[in-house]
A and B are shown apart, each in its own frame.
Chain A
Amino acid sequence: MVLFKNRGLTTDLMAGETLEVGQFVTMARKTLINEPYLSNAAIIGELTKLTLARSGHSYFTLTDRNGSIDCVLFGGNNSFQSLGVKEGMKIVASGGIDVYVKTGRMQFKASKIQPVQSIGELEKARRELIQKWREDGTMDRPRKPAPFIPKNLHIITGGGSAALSDMQRLIEDRWPNFSYTVIPVLVQGSGAPSQIIRAIKKAENLADLIIVGRGGGSPEDLWSFNLESVCQAIIECKVPIVSAVGHESDFMVSDMIADIRASTPSNAIERVIPIKNELVALIAQVSDRLDFALDRLFLQHDEKLSNLVMRLSSAPMKGISNAKLRQNGLLNRLNSSIDRRVIQEKGKLTSLESVLSSTNPSRVLERGYSMAVNEKGSPITSVIGLKGGDQLTVVLQDGQVDTEVKM
């Protein structure tokens, strides 16, 4: 047998040779345990028989429709008890093939067992997790807003996945040459949770925004994003983190506890990467409006200022013209009062004059009267006291004659 020869175990043996049983079984064992696919494997099946020995070792049988194998997990009793694994449950056992030489019995020597939960069980765990985080306030904790334009976006998703290429195409559409980092991880299967968690821990020290997610798939495929460990890493993430898992209808626990929930990976990009052209247009528009507002402000101040200048320059002249008016008024009043006084005085003189002139005796003489005066020039006003021979002078309008009184 080529297989044996290659292993170099029994080069001196020939096919068909008679061997001792122990020798035969030992050879078979060596061959099997040196086969990598058999010595390092994980097998899944229903736990059909379980014995927890006093020694602490666990003996059990895994069965499925087509086969069955006895297994041992040395010192495995604690594992079975803490994981709550019981007969009838589906489990994954990791380890390798072995043969018990004394009995020739083949068995699977497990190093680790892991229960495989049914969707019903997973769903129950998910509901309990949501309930727990509702009650302790984790769901209501304040969320970190995404930066307006992420400077250092990290995308954690399946390397080479359709979701990734969708996101990359969309980023290029929205903002050509936008710079970001992709951390490729397994997004399904048993290795996915630890890879996702490690990627988040790594990215949170470098990024200002993280998108973690994957495209659509079966509930089992998406289940990493319902796990407490993965969600806890999202909750503890120091920078804003977007959960973008599956299609619109898929609603993960990670969606409920992330800072930002995107319905799909593409939706995550739409939410966090602005459209560059729109932004440029908006900036131009805002800039125009700013210019306009500034212009208007300056114009308003100009108007106010020129108005003030006008008032300032006209104000003193207004004062001057008011003062002039006042002075002219006073001048008029001064002149007219003095004029009036002069006229008044003139009037007084005129009336005095007329009174004087009306008493002038010469005016009587003009009318044909005459006046007799004695030698002393005193007017004779009565006949009493006159005697014949008295000399009188008769004064007429244009002269006087001497006369003698006859008695």
Chain B
Amino acid sequence: MNYTESMKRIEEIVAALETGGTPLDETIKLFEEGSKLLKACQAELAEAEGKIEQLRLEGTE
């Protein structure tokens, strides 16, 4: 799943959790999936940020 797809999935999960109505064990599973995906997306974003910093440093040399 790429970043965009992951983010979309997280949105869906959050929306489902906010609406409520899912059984508890299902809720826990959704929460776990959402958390994992979010962590992965944060990592990817941090990496992108680092890369931009790097490029900017090279540009000013």
Residues of B within 8 A of A (CB): 7, 10-11, 13-14, 17-18, 20, 24, 27, 31, 34-35, 38, 41-42, 45, 48-49, 52, 56, 59
Give the A interface residue count (CB, 8 A): 18
A313 and B56: CB pair below 8 A? Answer: yes
Hey, which chain A residues are within 8 Å of B7, CB to CB?
Answer: 326-327, 330
Closest 8 pairs between A and B when the two form their complex, measured CB to CB: A337-B17, A333-B14, A316-B52, A338-B31, A320-B49, A334-B34, A337-B18, A330-B10
The distance in angstroms between the C-alpha atoms of A327 and B6, with both chains bound, is: 11
CB of A20 within 8 Å of the partner chain: no
Hey, which chain A residues are within 8 Å of B31, CB to CB?
Answer: 334, 337-338
A320 and B48: CB pair below 8 A? Answer: yes
B45 and A324: CB pair below 8 A? Answer: yes
The distance in angstroms between the C-alpha atoms of A317 and B27, with both chains bound, is: 34
Hey, which chain B residues are within 8 Å of A331, CB to CB?
Answer: 38
Q: Closest CB of chain B to A388's CB: distance in Å?
A: 57
CB of A12 within 8 Å of the partner chain: no
Closest A residue to B27 using CB positions = A341
Contacts A327-B7, A327-B45 known; 17 new A-B pairs at CB < 8 A? A309-B59, A313-B56, A313-B59, A316-B48, A320-B45, A324-B45, A334-B13, A334-B17, A334-B34, A334-B35, A334-B38, A337-B20, A337-B31, A338-B27, A341-B17, A344-B20, A345-B24
Chain A, 313-342, contact with B by CB distance < 8 Å: what is the 0/1 string?
100110010011011001101100110010
B14 and A341: CB pair below 8 A? Answer: no
The distance in angstroms between the C-alpha atoms of A338 and B52, with both chains bound, is: 34
Q: Closest CB of chain A to B12's CB: distance in Å?
A: 11
A323 and B45: CB pair below 8 A? Answer: yes
A341 and B20: CB pair below 8 A? Answer: yes
Among the interface residues A320, A326, A330, A345, which one has the most CB atoms of the partner chain B within 10 A?
A330
The distance in angstroms between the C-alpha atoms of A337 and B13, with both chains bound, is: 10
A341 and B52: CB pair below 8 A? Answer: no
Q: Closest CB of chain A to B61's CB: distance in Å?
A: 13
The distance in angstroms between the C-alpha atoms of A334 and B10, with both chains bound, is: 9
Closest A residue to B10 using CB positions = A330
Hey, which chain A residues are within 8 Å of B59, CB to CB?
Answer: 309, 313
Among the interface residues B11, B13, B17, B27, which one has the most CB atoms of the partner chain A within 10 A?
B17
Among the interface residues B14, B31, B41, B49, which one has the most CB atoms of the partner chain A within 10 A?
B14
Q: Closest CB of chain A to B33's CB: distance in Å?
A: 10
Knowing A320-B52, A341-B20, A341-B27, say if A330 contacts B45 (CB, 8 Å): no
Q: Which of B38, B48, B49, B56 contacts A330 (CB 8 A)?
A: B38
Closest A residue to B35 using CB positions = A334
Hey, which chain A residues are within 8 Å of B11, CB to CB?
Answer: 330
Hey, which chain B residues are within 8 Å of A337, CB to CB?
Answer: 14, 17-18, 20, 31
The distance in angstroms between the C-alpha atoms of A289 and B5, with both chains bound, is: 59
The distance in angstroms between the C-alpha atoms of A316 and B45, with both chains bound, is: 11
Chain A, 347-370, contact with B by CB distance < 8 Å: what is the 0/1 string?
000000000000000000000000
Q: Closest CB of chain B to A315's CB: distance in Å?
A: 9
The distance in angstroms between the C-alpha atoms of A240 and B40, with both chains bound, is: 86
Among the interface residues A317, A320, A327, A334, which one has the most CB atoms of the partner chain B within 10 A?
A334
